[in-house]
Structure 1
Amino acid sequence: MTRRSGVRDVIAYNWPQYAAGLVAAGVCAALAGRLPYPLRTMARAGSAAAVGLLTSATVASWLVYDRSELYDYDWLDTLLPQPPSEHLVVGTGLDEASAPLAARWPASRQITVDLYDPAVMTEGSVRRARRRVPPPPHALPGRPDALPVPRSGVDAVFLIFAAHELRQVKDRERLFEECARVLRHGGRLVLVEHLRDGPNTAVFGPGAWHFLPRAEWLRLAAHAGLLPAAEHRIARLVTALAFTRGPA
């Protein structure tokens, strides 16, 4: 399966932020020559910082989405003890996981649920991503507190760059509770996210505040009765966490 350029998609989804950064850098550079010495230095530093941040974020996105192991999904072998017989893919507007996972496990029954709610998920990047990559036709609508899957219905649940789009704490808690509900005993929830940590803050700057810290994901899992089972780091910027459902 041939993928489009990941970094090109990131820029397409977030082009207003890129445009704002370039405009800010240009304005600071243009004003620098007309300002007195202390302010001139600050303007030039601001221009350099804006360009540097855009560059580091773009290079990081290229390394993660175009050059890393992320989209070959072989790293799943370190998180799952065996291929699932039935699995659930949960999306929140952009689903790039269901097709490759279906191809990876053709004998596994797949359920795809789309939680996108335009009244809640108002960020322009999500709308642009959704227009560029529409949800698969078989995707079922759902809510964080109501996944259309029976109790103990699947062996694995995948939240791949999805859960952080639920900006309300209660919605995330309800989603994790639902994931625990639909998992069979011994099943696993696989969560893939950038974390709000040192490496991501270093390359994405303020943009890293869109991510959630590791402690919050661990708290959500514990809240739902899920136990940490395995972890895999991808390109030093993406973390894949597996949680397991213990005895009821």
Structure 2
Amino acid sequence: MIRRSGARDVIAYNWPQYAAGLATAVACAALSGRLPRPLRAMARAGSAAAVGLLASATAASWFVYDRSGLYAYDWLDAVLPQAPAAHLVVGTGLDEASAPLAARWPASRQITVDLYDPAVTTEGSVRRARRRVPPPPHALPARPGALPVRPAAVDAVFLVFAAHELRRAADRERLFEECARVLRPGGRLVLVEHFRDGANTAVFGPGAWHFLPRAEWLRLAAHAGLRPAAERRVAGLVTALALTRGRA
């Protein structure tokens, strides 16, 4: 059975944030009855806002991860029209892409690498996710600037909800340089991420600041000599962006 995270897993990975939001809502509601009338309305509004953000983030996660076609990978045809002879899957602690991609292309040679470094990837949510979903046994340890793959060895590289976990811009730059190095001419890097945009900010609120804006991804691509080749919006909140090296 292919493992995929749903809304319950998102809550489990990020339970401290959910607990803080609920505590804020309860505290504001409890204080509202003891405050002067002008402040009472503000406290109640704060409580309602906290509950609303938790509800919208949970509903969005449920829609994207449990109900949409994100994990069916049918959207791949729009950004990667040909099946790769060889492909690389890069993870940063939680790899739920290598198994479905291997099932989709059983004849394609797959290389899987894991960039997780607890000294660099300090997010508690990643540690919790990694405990629940260990990396596949064939995953090779790697660093953003040193992927254990020969130059021009693969037709496609996949960064599925992985690159944003590298919080330092220099690490992201090195990773994109390495992805460009291992791609064959005409190959594609497929980046799948929530972008920090209006839609994601509306449903995730302050949590959207964990995502990176479109301009940053395009900057990284240009830095590595990659250019946009195709794009597909999935479930209204996730962007699949294909970047190509050399000829289209």
Q: TM-score range by the shorter chain?
A: over 0.9
Who is 1:30 aligned against?
30
Unaligned runs of 5+ in 1: none
Give 1:5 deviation, angstroms: 5.8
Who is 2:65 aligned against?
65
In the alignment, the residues of structure 2 paired with residue 67 and residue 221 of structure 1 have an alpha-carbon distance, to the nearest angstrom, of 31
Who is 2:92 aligned against?
92
In the alignment, the residues of structure 2 paired with residue 94 and residue 133 of structure 1 have an alpha-carbon distance, to the nearest angstrom, of 7
Letter in structure 2 aligned against 1:121: T
Who is 1:175 aligned against?
175
Who is 2:193 aligned against?
193
Does residue 1:49 correspond to 2:49, yes or no? yes
Give 1:81 deviation, angstroms: 2.5
**Residue pairs, 1:24-173, within 5 angstroms:** 24-173=24-173
Does residue 1:16 correspond to 2:30, yes or no? no
Give 1:52 deviation, angstroms: 0.1
Choose 87-96 or 3-12, whichever is displaced more: 3-12
TM-score (norm 1): 0.98
In the alignment, the residues of structure 1 paired with residue 5 and residue 95 of structure 2 have an alpha-carbon distance, to the nearest angstrom, of 16
In the alignment, the residues of structure 2 paired with residue 20 and residue 8 of structure 1 have an alpha-carbon distance, to the nearest angstrom, of 17
Q: Tell me, what secondary structure is at the counterpart of 1:25?
A: helix
In the alignment, the residues of structure 2 paired with residue 186 and residue 9 of structure 1 have an alpha-carbon distance, to the nearest angstrom, of 37
Does residue 1:230 correspond to 2:230, yes or no? yes
Q: Deviations over 1:124-172 (max 9, x none)?
A: 1000000000000000000000000000010000000000000000000
User: What count of residue pairs does the alignment treat as equivalent?
Assistant: 247
TM-score (norm 2): 0.98
Q: Percent identity?
A: 84
Q: Deviations over 1:17-56 (max 9, x none)?
A: 1011001100100010010011101100000000000000
In the alignment, the residues of structure 1 paired with residue 72 and residue 238 of structure 2 have an alpha-carbon distance, to the nearest angstrom, of 14
In the alignment, the residues of structure 2 paired with residue 84 and residue 177 of structure 1 have an alpha-carbon distance, to the nearest angstrom, of 20
In the alignment, the residues of structure 2 paired with residue 101 and residue 128 of structure 1 have an alpha-carbon distance, to the nearest angstrom, of 24
Q: CA separation of 1:245/1:2 partners in 2, compared to 1, >3 Å: closer, same or farther?
A: closer
Does residue 1:241 correspond to 2:236, yes or no? no
In the alignment, the residues of structure 1 paired with residue 197 and residue 19 of structure 2 have an alpha-carbon distance, to the nearest angstrom, of 25
Give 1:2 deviation, angstroms: 5.5
Q: Tell me, what secondary structure is at the counterpart of 2:212?
A: coil
Who is 1:7 aligned against?
7
In the alignment, the residues of structure 2 paired with residue 105 and residue 204 of structure 1 have an alpha-carbon distance, to the nearest angstrom, of 34
Q: Tell me, what secondary structure is at the counterpart of 1:74?
A: coil
Letter in structure 2 aligned against 1:153: A
RMSD of the alignment, in Å?
A: 0.9
In the alignment, the residues of structure 1 paired with residue 173 and residue 8 of structure 2 have an alpha-carbon distance, to the nearest angstrom, of 33
In the alignment, the residues of structure 1 paired with residue 193 and residue 131 of structure 2 have an alpha-carbon distance, to the nearest angstrom, of 22
